[in-house]
Amino acid sequence: MAGKGSNDMLQRYKAAMVLSGAGDAIGYNGREWEFCFDGLQIHKELEEMGGLAKINVAEKTEGEKYKWLVSDDTVMHLATAEALCDNGDIEKTLRKIGDNYKECMKDMSGREPGPTSMNGAHMWNPHSETRQVISFNPRGGGCGAAMRAMCIGLRYPRVEDEGNLIAISIESGRMSHHHPTGYLGALASALFTAYSVRGKELKEWGHGLMEILPRALEYVKEAGHSVRENVEAWNERKSFGERWKNYLLYRKIFDGKSDPVFPANYGVKERDEFYRSVSYSGWGGASGHDAPLIAYDSILFAKDDWTELANRAFFHGGDSDSTAVMAACWFGALYGYKGVPESNYMGLEYQSRLERAGEILYNLSHPVSAAEPDSQLSQPEPMEQAAQDSESEPVKAPDSEPVKTPDSEPVKTPESEPVKTPDSLL
Ligand SMILES: [Mg+2]
């Protein structure tokens, strides 16, 4: 029988999945906030709603649609998670992930999927004899690979699992985003979830990422797909690794031991400026390097304060749902539902599917036969009673076709890019 510790860990797994969806839905706000470039405006609208605690994700519109619909991030995250739940070997898992990515494009109405993700799914051939790897894409540096990869860290949380975590995050990432900036975003997103499960100190995470990058490069070389192009992109100026290194130096946590240093004056406006400065082309969080970076910067400061986390990772002038989906997942894996208003996640679209995936991933990664199932993993912190499962929500029928990006404006440029920044802080 599961002890208290493992039961709490199970709740953390469920919370990781559910809160990631909640963060996505809130940061997205029916596309309004994903595509609002002014954090001050978002905070003003939030205040007019009565603040974060007043957001009720179960709210329906007149047509019985969710007002706080989950976006492409969560639909694709579920696609990854449900493939991992099948518990096949690596090849079977990757094939299932590819199949699920293709299938989930039928459920994108109103969710604003990115063009690179849609392309990858379109090109995937489920009947191919060998698993396909698409060509290297110099414009494949968007955040689409990262936003759907967190659950890989739930399946492979331990140090000895890191080989699998590297392989699955990179290969699932380059099913659409075959550029290091894109698929290393998936690695960071998965790795930080594993760190959350392990209870690794937040200030150590960036250092851990830097340490794992050479192993990831070795993997890419051994896998043998477009090696020359990948190595070149890996080494170019403003590469994923260089940008992360510069950020960690700037926050004074490159050594993984020191406490982070934040500016004394770091409000909504200043954060927007900082997020822009680390971005590829002015839209913070839209690329593979800066979506996990902004999410990390947020939780590094907020720790177990859900409201503070939301202020920093959900409500800003960048690609809000993609930074929210990651930060909220790590929060759930670290703290469960601690201090999270129920209205922010109870009755969320796909709540039951998310919880179920969390439960299966917990069971797969914590086999009962193991003598000390949680021996390497952290002792969970106390947390509030997890949510009761809600009535199972309507499993959404794809009402229409994959929908395209906003035609009216903010083109999600970085979704298609290699990195080229304005001369900026980093
Ligand atoms: Mg989205």
161 is in an annotated binding site: no
Spacing, Cα 73 to ligand 1 middle (Å)? 5
Spacing, Cα 37 to ligand 1 middle (Å)? 15
259 is in an annotated binding site: no
3-state SS, the chain, equals CCCHHHHHHHHHHHHHHHHHHHHHHHHHCCCCCCCCCCHHHHHHHHHHCCCHHHCCCCCECCCCCECCCCCHHHHHHHHHHHHHHCCCCHHHHHHHHHHHHHHHHHHCCCCCCCHHHHHHHHHCCCCCCCCCCCCCCCCECECCCHHHCHHHHHHCCCHHHHHHHHHHHHHHHCCCCCCHHHHHHHHHHHHHHHHHHHCCCHHHHHHHHHHHHHHHHHHHHHHCCCHHHHHHHHHCCCCHHHHHHHHHHHCCCCCCCCCCCCCCCCCHHHHHHHHHHCCCCCCCCCECCHHHHHHHHHHHHHCCCHHHHHHHHCCCCCCHHHHHHHHHHHHHHHHCCCCCCHHHCCCCCCHHHHHHHHHHHHHHHCCCCCCCCCCCCCCCCCCCCCCCCCCCCCCCCCCCCCCCCCCCCCCCHHHHECCCCCCCCC
Spacing, Cα 280 to ligand 1 middle (Å)? 18
407 is in an annotated binding site: no
pLDDT score for 378: 53
Q: Which residues of the chain have pLDDT under 70?
A: 1-6, 369-426
Spacing, Cα 90 to ligand 1 middle (Å)? 27
* 43-94 tens-digit pLDDT: 999 999 999 999 999 999 988 899 999 999 999 999 999 999 999 999 999 9
pLDDT score for 10: 97
73 is in an annotated binding site: yes
pLDDT score for 64: 86
Spacing, Cα 111 to ligand 1 middle (Å)? 6
Spacing, Cα 322 to ligand 1 middle (Å)? 6
pLDDT score for 7: 78
pLDDT score for 6: 63
Spacing, Cα 325 to ligand 1 middle (Å)? 9
71 is in an annotated binding site: yes
